[in-house]
Amino acid sequence: MSFLRYLIPPLCVALMPAWFTGEATADTTSTNERLWAPIAEDLQMARLQLSSRRLFSTELTLFRTSLQRYRVGVVRATEFGSKRDNVRNLTQKAHAIAGINANFFDKQNNPLGLVISKGIIQQKIHWGGSTLSGIFYATRKNIAIAPRKTFNPDQVLEALQAGPRLISNSAREEGLHDSLAPSRRAGVCIDGAGRLILFAVSSRIVGLDIEELQEILLRKDINCVQALNFDGGGSAQIFVDSKLPGGHDNEEHFIQGKDPIPVILALFRRP
């Protein structure tokens, strides 16, 4: 979804009767063991069926890793001769095992905001507006999410800019302007144990608003300490390959989006 379309609530939401709106609810009795199912070594998956007073329910899919067997990398479609592609193709072309859409993009299909890949700054920080407020980055030692105003690129190997920031220090970010607009969502979080969580709304209709998503990410069995919103709507998509080390189900997981994208955050096997 382009940056401009992100700022415009879907027409169907604007016309939706008031009794369809309301906060999503989920089974809060779930424990960590019940919610997360291992699908490979150092990789777990969770699915949340979220019911609400809207006409359609929403499903949120999450993948979690401690990054003991994997490392993160930023992959650009231009590396493979195109400006945009779907996340499955980009993941496989990069020989990664998983990928999720990341940056917003402009009308010329160029990614918006900071892009660092393999320690090289491919694109500088975008300072305009309040949406692209966060930067996810990785060094040799750790991963983190930082506000753009305090980000320091020293020793950063991989980074991308998106937004808004959803969770900071285990608390929701307040005053987010599009919180009343349900949409398909995607993003990344770091939990209380320092694990990486990739998430995407897999439902084709309605989706979640920002406040609902924040509430879910703060659940005890998800426990996001930091979280960043990626591009959503038709861009929201995530892919996990079927050929994983110690794979349990040997099944490909692909939440498809309608729009090709310029940048993904990918998981690669460590040597």
44 in Cβ contact with 197 (< 8 Å):
no
Tell me how crowded residue 68 is: count the other CB atoms within 10 A of its CB: 9
Q: 202 or 140: whose pLDDT is higher? A: 140
| pLDDT score at 52 | 55
Within-domain flag for 36: no
Q: Mean of the pLDDT values across residues 96-109?
A: 97
Q: Give residue 178's pLDDT band: very low, low, confident or very high (50, 70, 90).
A: low
Q: Check whether 171 has a pLDDT greater than 90.
A: yes
Q: Give residue 182's pLDDT band: very low, low, confident or very high (50, 70, 90).
A: confident
Within-domain flag for 214: yes
Q: 149 or 178: whose pLDDT is higher? A: 149
The single residue listed with the structure tokens 């285990």 is: 170
Instruction: Name the helix (H) or strand (E) containing 32.
Output: helix 32-35
Tell me how crowded residue 75 is: count the other CB atoms within 10 A of its CB: 25
Within-domain flag for 77: yes
| pLDDT score at 204 | 67
Within-domain flag for 187: yes
Owning domain of residue 172:
66-269
Within-domain flag for 190: yes
Within-domain flag for 78: yes
- Tens digits of residue pLDDT in 11-53: 343 333 332 333 344 444 445 558 999 999 999 999 998 865 5
CB contact set of 262 (below 8 Å; sequence gap of 6+)? 76, 77, 78, 83, 84, 103, 105, 109, 110, 111
Instruction: State the chain's maximal CA–CA distance in angstroms.
Output: 54
Locate 62 and state its tokens.
């999450």
Number of independent structural domains in the chain: 1
